[in-house]
């Protein structure tokens, strides 16, 4: 792993004015969201809104997420499940707080979620 300053310049988040490095979240697996939205257009705007917020976030601990998303579920092994479109859909992610990485695992309906194994 690169030292923090080098990592920031590589991903383009170095604050040139204040000479600070503000790490933002990197999102892996966006193709899962793209594919799902093609088949379920009714959630596209909610997914894009979530993506924009998640990319701009700097979550360091679960409470950082909970402050913004009150209905989020925290499960074992860093799984974080977000409710999308009034709890009709669930977005399963893994959040690696120290590395500032969110991995998209799957997206499905609430009924799908009830069948998922964690």
**pLDDT tens per residue across span 37-48:** 999 999 999 999
Q: Does pLDDT of 6 surpass 80?
A: no
Structural domains of the chain in order of their starting residue, each with its CATH number: 26-113 (3.30.2310.20)
Of residues 36 and 17, more confidently modeled: 36
CB 43 within 8 A of CB 32: no
Reported as a pLDDT band with limits 50, 70 and 90, residue 20 is: low
The phi, psi pair for 75, rounded to 5°, reads: -115, 170
Query: Could you tell me which of 53, 59, 51, 55 has the C-alpha nearest to residue 12?
Result: 55
Helix or strand (DSSP H, E) at 47? helix 44-56
pTM of the predicted protein model: 0.79
Q: Does pLDDT of 24 surpass 60?
A: yes
Q: Does pLDDT of 17 surpass 60?
A: no
CB 113 within 8 A of CB 81: yes
Half-sphere exposure of 57 (CA within 13 A, CB side): 27
């Amino acid at each position: 792993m690169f030292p923090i300053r080098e990592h920031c310049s590589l991903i383009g988040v170095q604050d040139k004015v204040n000479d600070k490095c503000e790490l933002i979240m990197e999102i892996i697996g966006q193709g899962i969201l793209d594919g799902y939205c093609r088949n379920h257009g009714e959630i596209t705007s909610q997914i894009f809104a979530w993506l924009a917020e998640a990319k701009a976030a700097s979550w360091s601990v679960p409470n950082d997420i909970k402050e913004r998303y009150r209905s989020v579920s925290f499960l074992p092994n860093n799984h974080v499940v977000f409710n999308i479109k009034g709890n009709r859909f669930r977005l399963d992610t893994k959040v690696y707080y120290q590395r500032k990485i969110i991995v998209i695992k799957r997206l499905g309906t609430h009924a799908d979620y009830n069948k998922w194994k964690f």
